[in-house]
Amino acid sequence: MFMCASPTIISFWSSGGLNGIAASFHFLLPEIKVTPRKQKTTNKQPQEEAPVSEKRIASDNKTVKPNKRAKAVKKRDATPTDTDTLNDTKPVKRPRKKKLSEQEMTFPSRVVDSAKKIGGHVSTAKGIYNAILNARLIGANAFQIFVRSQRKWESKPTPKDVQERFIQDCKKHRYTADDILVHGSYLINLANPDPEKYSKSYEGLLDEVKRTEALGLKLYNFHPGSTTGQSSVEEGCLSIAQAINQVHKDVPNVICVIEIMAGGGNTIGGDYKHLKNIIDQVKNKSRVGVCLDTCHMFAAGYDIRTADAWKDAMNEFEQTVGLKYLRAMHLNDSKTDLGSHRDRHENLGKGFIKWDAFSAIVNDPRTDGIPMVLETPVPKEDDKQEIYTTEIAELYRLIKKGKKQPVSTKKSAKKA
Ligand SMILES: [Zn+2]
Ligand SMILES: [Zn+2]
């Protein structure tokens, strides 16, 4: 049986591509609808595209010119997977599929009454409100979106009716501002010592934070940036803190969530001390927080592969930064080993981190109540529903299962 802590299943689902998974979890109770084909909310969901490399952002802070392939992919839909694999995916032309209306969609089981808010990064293609249905389609209790193209400085404003529909649909599907993360543009580098480039970054930040607020949201997650090698870490942290202080003045309510980074080079944020340094200089501490990305933490050198290792890493976080600042998590396995300083996301259990870590995370009361979203890779956007539904269900299944880990993870704890 489906072994969540105290799950109440509020809806049931079935779709052609997912029946197998449902069967394997044995949690499918009566199906309310059966559709013979894969569910989707939009006709042309673009495939995942890797984000701009940190180095590129660090070095020039310019708009990255996408190549022809990349141009064919809608930028706002990309899953923020990793920063090392730019242009390693090809857009695939697929035949148009009939767009299903909300009434025609069937949603996977969604766990309620759990302290854990688990979900994934979802597409906003064809209207930012589509993110909500995309979240339902993966059984998410939390989700993350981009509020504009993450690769362009300029972006059209979101129409008022679209904003209102987003807010209404959130209510309808019972997602609150505490469950939703906005992920900032990769172009923004608030640690850039070049005044012009800093200023452009700040304008980008301000625009995105305003968009976040207009959608009734409050958690704005962003990459702290890079010194580009032109200034010290201390100066970089100060610069980021000043930007946060300014945006707090310019926009009410939104909480700036600083994402931990894989570190290395001139990147800020690959060390708890950097996060602490920034937060120390933020005046309104109630409006700043941290997002711990498991792949980034691990790549930065924080071992989390066993329950004990996770505990130690969190204790260190608590002592260095403070638990009250933990506002979100990104749940990703890592394609590269501990301390690699490479940002290469992998599907849960398939990388160097493995399931023991994710089991420890979902069973740690310190991660209660914060959005925890997947940014794991998918071959193409169409595959996301199946992959994310499975990963989310597995994470919920692990709750309170203690030491019983999937067989395939046994080795992970012993890896050096
Ligand atoms: Zn990443
Ligand atoms: Zn990120």
pLDDT, the chain, mean: 81
Residue 26 CB-half CA count within 13 A: 5
Question: What pLDDT, in 10s, does the model give residues 8-30?
Answer: 343 333 333 333 333 333 333 33
- Checking if the pLDDT of 297 tops 90, the result is yes
Closest ligand (CA of 121): 2
Choosing from 296, 305, 344, 397, the catalytic residue is 296
Instruction: Give residue 236 CA to ligand 2 midpoint distance, Å.
Output: 18
| Catalytic (active site) residue 26 | no
| Catalytic (active site) residue 121 | no
Instruction: Give residue 291 CA to ligand 2 midpoint distance, Å.
Output: 9
What is the C-alpha to C-alpha distance for residues 315 and 323, in angstroms, rounded to an integer? 9
Name which residue leads in pLDDT, 16 or 368.
368
Domain boundaries in the chain?
8-414
Residue 11, Cβ density class (10 Å: 0-12 exposed, 13-18 middle, ≥19 buried)? middle
Give the pLDDT band (50/70/90) at residue 102.
confident
Q: The tokens of 377 are what? A: 């890779």
Closest ligand (CA of 291): 2
Instruction: Give residue 222 CA to ligand 2 midpoint distance, Å.
Output: 6
Question: What pLDDT, in 10s, does the model give residues 111-170?
Answer: 988 999 999 999 999 999 999 999 999 999 999 999 998 889 999 999 999 999 999 999
Q: Percent of the chain, pLDDT > 70?
A: 73
Q: What average pLDDT does this structure show over 47-54?
A: 34
**Neighbouring residues of the ion ligand 1, judged by CB less than 5 Å:** 82, 343
State the pLDDT at residue 78.
63
What is the C-alpha to C-alpha distance for residues 218 and 257, in angstroms, rounded to an integer? 10
| Catalytic (active site) residue 381 | no
Instruction: Give residue 261 CA to ligand 1 midpoint distance, Å.
Output: 7
| Catalytic (active site) residue 388 | no
Q: What average pLDDT does this structure show over 253-281?
A: 97
| Catalytic (active site) residue 173 | no
Give the pLDDT band (50/70/90) at residue 251.
very high
The domain over range 8-414 is classified in CATH as 1.10.760.10: no
